Amino acid sequence: RGTVAGGADAGAQGGLRAESGTEENAGACRLDTMSVGVTSVPRPANHLLLEITNQSGVTCRLTGFPLARFDDARSAVPEAADTRPQAVVTLAPGESGYAGLTNSTANAPAADTHKATGLTVSLPGEDSRRAVDLPGDSVEIGDGAEVGYWQSDASDALLW
């Protein structure tokens, strides 16, 4: 599980407060050194869980939120601003970070959704994208889709 570097309430965010400067001095995570996956979750409704795992040999920082695009959308799924953590998530080698992704609002009528068969994920500040397999090969997407900020704990990523 990743650690949270800095912030007076970092421990309350479900992560661990950094005990040395190593995490605070870590560089930004790069997509080419990460594995990325997405899973469906039973609760909350209409949520997917993005998981990114540090496959490099060095600690890195996950900043902001993933840039997620369904199919060939011109723009990324908008951020869920109220999910911003109080501190940057840092990942030691082998550790994972998480972000919640809603595919529609909970009360979206089925007639207002469409089937998405592809998802690409990017990290802030990077031009590269990674194609990620969707659970069941497709998901229904509707109005209100949002992506949360990176969190060090999967349950924290789904708290909205």
Return the SS3 of 139: strand
The confidence band for 104, taking pLDDT boundaries of 50, 70 and 90, is: confident
- Kindly state the average pLDDT of the residues 47-65: 97
Asked whether the predicted pLDDT for residue 18 surpasses 70, the reply is: no
Per the CB < 8 A criterion, the answer to whether 62 and 4 are in contact is: no
Distance between alpha carbon 6 and the CA centroid of its chain, in Å? 20
Q: Quick one: how many helices (H) and strands (E) in the chain?
A: 2, 13
Backbone angles phi and psi of 96, in degrees to 5: -120, 155
> In the chain, what are the domains?
3-157 (2.60.40)
Q: What percent of the chain has pLDDT over 70?
A: 81
